[in-house]
Amino acid sequence: MISVSINGAARNFPQAVSVAELVQDMGLGGKRIALERNGEIVPRGQFAQQMLADGDKLEIVVAVGGG
């Protein structure tokens, strides 16, 4: 079981998942987002290679247009 914190909320996964899988699971695929993992920005090009680990702390920000 993998337990991570996403924007301060605990979330559990039965097995390791990639950042890309998490983004899709959250319905954020194709959206402009910034993702920080344990204090480090994760470039979009690395989402598929970055596997979540137990205890990770993620902050996800969705860009919103407007003025």
How much is the pTM? 0.89
Look at residue 67 and tell me if it is in a domain. Answer: no
CA 67/CA 31 separation, integer angstroms: 18
For residue 20 the two structure tokens come to 């890309």
Look at residues 1, 19, 16 and name the one whose alpha carbon lies nearest to residue 58.
Answer: 19
pLDDT over threshold 80, residue 66: no
- What's the mean pLDDT in 8-21? 95
Averaged confidence pLDDT in the chain: 94
Domain count, the chain: 1
Whole-number pLDDT of residue 67: 62
Look at residue 49 and tell me if it is in a domain. Answer: yes
Look at residue 25 and tell me if it is in a domain. Answer: yes
Look at residue 24 and tell me if it is in a domain. Answer: yes
pLDDT digits (tens, 9 = 90+) for 28-53: 998 999 999 999 999 999 999 999 99
Range of the domain at 57: 2-62
* Residue of 63 and 39 predicted with greater confidence: 39
